[in-house]
Amino acid sequence: MGNFMVFLITMLLFSYLSQEKVWVYFTDKGIRTDEERKEALKRAKEGLSKRAIKRRLMTRSPENVVDYSDIPVYEQYIREIEARGGRFCVASKWLNAGTFVIPSHKKNKIIDLPFVKKMKPVRRFGARITEEKKGIDYGEGETQIKLLGLDKVHSKGYIGKGILIGILDTGYKKDLHPALKDINIIAEHDFISNDSLAKYDENDTIDMGNNHQIEHGSHMLSLMGARATGQLVGAAFGADFAIARTELMYRLPNDDRDIITEEDWWIAGVEFLDSVGVDIISSSLGYKEWFDSTNYKYEDMNGNTTPMTVVASMCIGKNILLVNAIGNVKNSARPDTCIKAPADADSILACGGVDENGNWYWQGNSGSAIGPPYDQVGLEERTRWKPDVCGPWFGYVANPWWRPGDETNRPYSVTGGTSCATAMIAGASACILSGHRKDGEGWDARKLRNVILKTASRSGNPNDTSGYGIPDTYKALYYEKPMVFPSPFEEDRILYSSPNPFIPSDGQPLQIYYRLVNNTSVMNVYIFTLSGRLVKELKKYNIALGNGYIEWDGKDEGRNPVASGIYICLLETRTGKSVGKIAVVR
């Protein structure tokens, strides 16, 4: 029996190793007539959201709002390959290609099909994540905000409102953490499990049973969208978000963490985010090592070779700014060992990392990857620099597993990498764009990128470690007069209490008046003694903006009348805290 099991396992392993996941590129999309082409383009347009169409119309004429790249892959070609032993995985309309798992002995039959243009392996790579435990009250996140000048932009009211940011990452969890729960997510999809939920699902086993699948994505989401005044405030806390889960996290035996993704997951995520209408995409990948023997060479990092790079370069033509991590590296800072796709793409923002003093981050034997891309090697007149810009290497982030009352876990922690820089720069880009785009008019993605480069700290002297330097969000915002003029950011606050002094024996409840200026799902009001003891917690849900009040009957949580004295009233919402005093007289 033992020998049979060894034989069976050996055969299964041989079967696995003798098949390969490959890209199959097609010669066409099965369209034979002009009428078929017109009908296909019509259906492609119907597949875009109204927001996506409005975004594209900023740089395209109405008759060209969709093009050949938006027409789906021809289904019959997929069926033909399946009939010859290929297992279909993902289709990319932008590349006119599909990914299939194909047994090695059947590849020749497929490559010889008349509609097959070429075949190449799907790359799978990992991103090592290292974590270090370390006007608006930004709390411990103040350094990362001020490094990009976001505090000055926020004070003017530019917080990313009206901008939709897409995220490619590991998924998220936000239901209970006070910094995460009110972030507005309008669309999501899981391209690993192929379902509509990118958020945490306790029945989802794709994280290999260790429940770390949502950590990295939640960290990046908190860097952009967190709203917990005094603790953590995101770079673009007024923006909306769409999330594509395209990366898989698991723990290694030495307790390091790896993120694994495959090219087709990432490309499918980009096309999904385009269809829902995102303005900016944040793709945060860290230290990257290919997991197979078919590594891309440095020569391939030329801006037009890898499938991910080709798709990344197409984003700008569809009026999307892609912000992508250049990557983290160990042991070497040579470009031939560290620059990875799609950071080599043209017309994106590839982000490196700097320390709190604005210096290129390199400590010990690890740090932020450098350029140049291969096509720029040896040129006297350089046309491209990688990274394009740099942001904060370290990020103060929310722990998605923490919830109020949890004394085991910490609510926040510090993590590091070019992924943090990417999320922060994507958020900063959204704040800039929120001042220069309204109702399908204003700056397009190319203009936004150019202004960020022109106003960055090394704009006149780019180099291979920092690119054009650190973006100056304030300078970029006022590079031209904004077309949107929000009110300066205002926090929710207590106005007054009435009657004050409060005499419970009169039979009338105390009314605590407040002003809400920011959307929130729940408002908490806490009553404390002067010694700091909590006597009562009041909650109010689905609150309208503007002035209102909440009532207190003068009793504690046990329904006992409180004693005479001075009490502290604390109002708390996702955007701030406000304190007032109450005098109780018996």
Report CA-CA distances (Å) from 199 to 248, 286, 466.
13, 21, 34
Q: In terms of Cα–Cα distance, which of 491, 489, 568, 562 is closest to 528? A: 568
**335's tokens:** 């470009």
**Residue 326 and residue 312: Cα distance in Å, rounded?**
13
Q: DSSP assignment, residue 49? A: -
**427's tokens:** 């958020």
Determine phi and psi for 526, rounding to 5 degrees: -115, 140
144 contacts 395 by C-beta, under 8 angstroms: yes
**482's tokens:** 């904004």
Number of H helices, E strands in the chain: 14, 31
Q: Quote the Cα angle for 94-73-42, to 5°.
A: 80
pLDDT at position 99: 95
Q: In terms of Cα–Cα distance, which of 276, 307, 347 is closest to 121? A: 307
Q: In terms of Cα–Cα distance, which of 420, 418, 400 is closest to 410? A: 400
pLDDT at position 2: 45
* CB proximity list for 47: less than 8 A, separation 6 or greater: 70, 275
Neighbours of 256 (CB within 10 A): 12
User: Domains (ranges, CATH) in the chain?
Assistant: 2-121 (no CATH), 124-477 (3.40.50.200), 493-584 (2.60.40.4070)
- 3-state helix/strand/coil string of 379-391: CCCCCCCCCCEEE
Determine phi and psi for 154, rounding to 5 degrees: -60, -40
**Residue 74 and residue 169: Cα distance in Å, rounded?**
29
Q: Which residue ranges of the chain lie beneath pLDDT 50?
A: 1-17, 129-134, 207-209, 255, 286-288, 290-293
pLDDT at position 212: 56
Report CA-CA distances (Å) from 402 to 199, 216, 398, 490.
16, 14, 8, 28
Report CA-CA distances (Å) from 471 to 86, 386, 392, 568.
47, 15, 11, 42
pLDDT at position 363: 81
Any idea which residue has 């740099």 for tokens?
390
**Residue 460 and residue 293: Cα distance in Å, rounded?**
40
Report CA-CA distances (Å) from 346 to 375, 409, 445, 461, 548.
11, 42, 13, 19, 51
Helix (H, G, I), strand (E, B) or coil at 375: helix
200 contacts 476 by C-beta, under 8 angstroms: no
Determine phi and psi for 525, rounding to 5 degrees: -125, 125
Size of the chain, expressed as the number of residues it contains: 586
**127's tokens:** 């991103």
**Residue 337 and residue 289: Cα distance in Å, rounded?**
10
